[in-house]
Chains A and B, each alone.
Chain A
Amino acid sequence: MSLELSPEAQARLNDKSWRRSQSKWMLWIYLSASSLGAVGFARLAIKTKDEMLKKYAYLFSGLMFVLFLLMGLDDSTTTKVDGKDVTQTSTLGNIGSALIFINFGLQIFFSFKANKIWLVFRAQNNNPTWTAENLNVTDVAKKVFTAPQELAEGALGIDRSDFYATPETERAKKMAPPPPPAAQKKMPPPPPVSAGKMASQENLTIDLNSATVEMLMKNAEFDPVLAANTIVQREKRGGFSSFEEFANDLKLQPHQVAKLKSILIVQKQTESGASSGRILDI
């Protein structure tokens, strides 16, 4: 992971609702009273491949192992004395009880440290498709794409590619050009601008739904923060439907609206032909 954050990553980190949504893994610890906390740490370590998170995962997995061992070896006994139940706890039992609380406290403490690493990783890697392919787990990917034998080679007159995605069809889909967009109304040229400042800028129209941060920053009204926040909001909405929507979301001031209205356009995003989720065996 590079130490320098891109403007989009910084904008995600500044977004409280995004941070909250990415921190839900911490519930594993609180709701299970730490018994499933090690699973949460392990999940983060697998996804990020971060050395520190791996250490946390090993630590808490080891602690849980020791706890289960102590529970198994605990020979506390309960006897009746004068009609009342009296439990004699063994030393191992006492150690185990103390370790439960220590483990819980440690998991809560380290979960905040781990969450910082996790948030930075997710901010920089906001790819929504967490498929096995992305994780480079080749065995799982092969299993997912293998069709049953009875439908192999067009048996029973059935073309297996109608029902099962194969590596060949998936590759073909990825390499195929996207379908041409539906006929769009030609955007009128921007209205004539007053002489002076506006004329000194290049009057290129920028499509809000496809512009990158660099393209937006070619306009003097876009600083790195506004450009990054534009991309973040666009991703949240799945594309802006109008300039007014963009202006409201980004809380533009009137002078910004006046200057940007003539150079920003909103084109409907084309539908992507390829699906981006896991292929399920039916």
Chain B
Amino acid sequence: MIQKRLQINVDSDGNIKAETLGIHGSKCLEYVSVLEDLLDAHSVESKFTADYTKNESEIVNDQGVSNES
């Protein structure tokens, strides 16, 4: 199973940029409120990145192929 991670960058102005790693599809939307609660912050901007369109089975297949090669 792929490790799910959150990468959080806080700059010296107090602005926060967070990314979900290894969390695919619509599951990543659940982490919006998780991050807001964790950071006591409100979201002002967001966008999906490449991994959003992948689902778990595709990732597992990719990993299976790379393990065999």
Contacts and interface: CB of A to CB of B under 8 A. Distances in A.
A–B contact via C-beta, under 8 angstroms: yes
Interface of A: 193-198, 253-259, 261
B50 interface: no
Contacts of A255: 32, 43, 45-46
13 contacts: A193-B33, A194-B33, A194-B37, A196-B37, A197-B37, A198-B33, A254-B28, A254-B48, A255-B43, A255-B45, A258-B30, A259-B33, A261-B29
Contacts, number: 36
A219 to B, nearest CB: 13
B7 to A, nearest CB: 16
A254 B33 contact: no
Q: Is the interface of B mostly helix, strand, loop or mixed?
A: helix
Q: Could you say which of B28, B29, B30, B48 has the most chain A C-beta atoms within 10 Å of its C-beta?
A: B29
Interface of B: 28-30, 32-34, 36-37, 42-43, 45-48
B43 to A, nearest CB: 4
Contacts of B30: 258
B32 A258 contact: yes
Q: Could you say which of B29, B32, B36, B46 has the most chain A C-beta atoms within 10 Å of its C-beta?
A: B32
B22 to A, nearest CB: 17
A197 B36 contact: yes
B47 A258 contact: no
A197 B33 CA distance: 8
A196 B36 contact: yes
A253 B33 contact: no
B29 A254 contact: yes
Q: Could you say which of B42, B45, B46 has the most chain A C-beta atoms within 10 Å of its C-beta?
A: B46
A4 to B, nearest CB: 29
Contact of B47 (A195, A254, A259): A254
Contacts of A198: 33
Contacts of A196: 33, 36-37
Nearest to A257: B29
A196 B48 CA distance: 24
